[in-house]
């Protein structure tokens, strides 16, 4: 089963609740929340206060993507804020194993994100410990960038490892997913697809979600 996880980075921050309700109406189950600190990535977005406000207004699965340095310092606050999935970047900490353990101790699903320039084999030791791998198909920091094609090979590789090691890791992809390439990431093996500008820009949320779902079923 493949699910969409709309990235609120491209939503209207002055009307977040309205946009979230529009997604609920379309039966969307996940909400991707991009947290950026201006250090790990050049952009600055939102923090735990906003996550906890969102938590109060929706039962959607909060898929929180931390693009922050030293994520270990913020695991508890984001768990308290109501994250259901907490994903940290492999590149953002020297202690990825410890960070994953802290997330899991809180009963929250632990994800690890991998930048386009980072090879997947660095995850070998920790794969049995994680619930989700997030393949970045753009360099993190901004919405609306172009999909990086070799991400498809990374998705296929993780799918294969999942099978061989008998694991059940969720494979998520993030960046540059549009109507024209969504089927490619599905064929490569993803379970969870982040889409920001494809859902919140141009037309209505309903029209955009419909278009993506149609492309998924083609």
Distance, in Å, from the CA atom of 28 to the CA atom of 31, rounded to the nearest integer, reads 8
Closest to ligand DX5 by CB, 9 vs 192, is 9
Active site residue 131: no
Distance, in Å, from the CA atom of 52 to the CA atom of 31, rounded to the nearest integer, reads 13
Which of 177, 182, 190, 193 is in the footprint of ligand DX5 by CB under 6 A? 177
Query: Where does this chain bind Zn ion (CB under 5 A)?
Result: 34, 65, 174
- Label residues 58-72 b or e (16+ Cβ within 10 Å = b): bebbbbbbbbbbebb
Catalytic residue among 37, 63, 131, 174: 174
Question: Which one of 117-125, 138-146, 148-156, 208-216 is the stretch in contact with ligand DX5 (CB under 6 A)?
Answer: 138-146
16 sits near ligand DX5 (criterion: CB under 6 A): no
Active site residue 12: no
Listed as own residue / partner, the contacts of 159-164 with beta carbons closer than 8 Å and 24 or more positions apart are: 159/188, 159/189, 161/127
7 sits near ligand DX5 (criterion: CB under 6 A): yes
Judged by beta carbon distances under 5 to 8 A according to partner kind, the member of ligand DX5, Zn ion, none in contact with residue 176 is: ligand DX5
Contact 60, 84 (CB under 8 A): no
197 sits near ligand DX5 (criterion: CB under 6 A): yes
- State the pairing for strand pair 30-36/192-195: unpaired
Closest CA to 31 of 40, 21, 41, 44: 21
Question: Which one of 91-99, 120-128, 190-198, 206-214 is the stretch in contact with ligand DX5 (CB under 6 A)?
Answer: 190-198
149's tokens: 């094609």
Q: Which residues bind to ligand DX5, rule: CB under 6 A?
A: 7, 9-10, 32, 34, 65, 138, 140-141, 143-145, 174-177, 194-198
Query: Known catalytic residues?
Result: 34, 174
């Amino acid at each position: 089963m493949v699910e969409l996880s709309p990235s609120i980075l491209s939503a209207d921050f002055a009307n977040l609740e309205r946009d979230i309700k529009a997604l609920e109406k379309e039966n969307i189950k996940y909400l991707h929340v991009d947290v950026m600190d201006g250090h790990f990535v050049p952009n600055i977005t939102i923090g735990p206060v906003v996550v906890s406000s969102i938590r109060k207004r929706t039962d959607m699965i909060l898929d929180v993507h931390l693009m922050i340095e030293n994520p270990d310092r913020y695991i508890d606050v984001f768990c308290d804020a109501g994250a259901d999935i907490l994903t940290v970047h492999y590149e953002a900490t020297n202690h990825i194993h410890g960070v994953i353990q802290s997330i899991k101790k809180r009963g929250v699903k632990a994800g690890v994100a991998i930048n386009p320039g980072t090879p997947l084999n660095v995850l070998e030791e920790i794969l049995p410990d994680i619930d989700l791998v997030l393949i970045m198909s753009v360099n993190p920091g901004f919405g609306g960038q172009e999909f990086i094609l070799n991400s498809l090979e990374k998705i296929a590789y993780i799918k294969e490892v999942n099978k061989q090691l008998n694991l059940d890791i969720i494979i998520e992809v993030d960046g540059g997913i549009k109507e024209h390439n969504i089927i490619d990431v599905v064929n490569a093996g993803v379970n969870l697809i982040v889409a920001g500008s494809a859902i919140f820009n141009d037309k209505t949320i309903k029209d955009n979600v419909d278009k993506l779902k149609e492309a998924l079923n083609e």
